[in-house]
Structure 1
């Protein structure tokens, strides 16, 4: 699975005014001279993004970049995992040790639950955006219930009366939430 570049969308009120990479949105918003508040969303997860529109700080060069813990060439990040002693015993008996066994278990779970996870993540992203942008709009609660119930037809009917840019963006975030084979999560 390859990482994709972060894309953002900016709104003033219910109108979308910028969309693109972080750098592109930054450049577009630097031109914005209005006084209305800006809301900027991550297109992947629907989360609000705090984008400082003042002059950008110089990015550190390779020589100045701080060193991180772990094995940088492999992208390994050390984190803490709390397990019961019997779990550690079982992991320790696995070929390759605990780390190899945990990686194998995680990869298997990711593969098995990919569809369900995609549906859940799309619903959560759509709900994050809905809460920030449409929490006061007519039909918000009913639309949220339809979203989590997997009722695409009702959801689309409820958001159809919302401002066009909000509804369009929301439908894009929720697109993967309508998997019938995986059902509601």
Structure 2
């Protein structure tokens, strides 16, 4: 059975997973390991992006006090956020003004759209986000998996073959070449890469 969805954060001491879950509990376990064993080699990873640089100086409470305040806040899609109740007057849309450089023909086309240039640009960006959502998710999964194996398995057997299989979307080769890796490293690498191979399999079946 393939590994399921990964934790928000995960910590390794060498090749062994010592904690997984929210950042506070993972940081606590990492700090306690470092205090208990001075030769510990601890790395902490965000489950979806890569290594996390934590300051382990001082006590456990000192370490926890320095954690990013928003680290454990649940992520929400912009489109999924519930709309705030509207009061009287013009709604606050959170619009940010920034410079956009376009050719004259682009400005001419935008000026002809309903609502003007700003509304048309926002609509185009939202449409592109929806159209590329799956591609972006796969790209993020591939990048997260690569950052993990680069940090944890660069000196492991078949590292280069594993990296090539990841970017080629070859699940079978990825499974084969990671089989000899330490169990915790292997399983987390496979978990991170699962979304990449799932999409590749769907596209292959559709083809």
Q: TM-score range by the shorter chain?
A: 0.7 to 0.9
| Separation of aligned partners in 2, 1:23 and 1:154 | 36
- 1:20/1:58 CA distance change after superposition, 3 Å: closer
Cα 1:59–1:48 shift into 2, 3 Å: closer
Structure 2 residues not aligned, in runs of 5+: 1-6, 70-91
- CA distance in 1: counterparts of 2:151 and 2:119, whole angstroms: 41
Q: Distance in 2 between matches of 1:168 and 1:157?
A: 13
> Which segment drifts farther, 118-127 or 135-144?
118-127
Indicate whether 1:52 and 2:55 are aligned: yes
Aligned-partner Cα distance in 2 for 1:59–1:41? 14
2:154 counterpart of 1:125:
no
**1:42 lines up with 2:46 in the alignment:** yes
Deviation at 1:15, TM superposition (A): 1.0
Residues 10 and 39 in structure 1, CA contact (< 8 A), matched pair in contact too: yes
Give the Å deviation of 1:59.
8.6
Unaligned regions of 5+ residues in structure 1, if any? Answer: 1-5, 61-72
Residue aligned with 1:16, SS = strand
Q: Of the candidates 95, 112, 115, which is equivalent to residue 134 of structure 2?
A: 115
The normalised TM-score by structure 1 is 0.76
**Matched length:** 165
Contact 1:116 1:182 in 2 (8 A): no
Alpha-carbon shift at residue 114 of structure 1 (Å): 2.4
Match of 2:170 among 144, 151, 154: 151
Partner of 1:25: 26
Mark the CA change 1:105 to 1:169 in structure 2 (over 3 Å): closer, same or farther: same
CA spacing shift, 1:85–1:41, aligned 2, 3 Å: farther
Larger radius of gyration: 2
Q: In the alignment, which residue of structure 2 is the partner of 1:67?
A: none
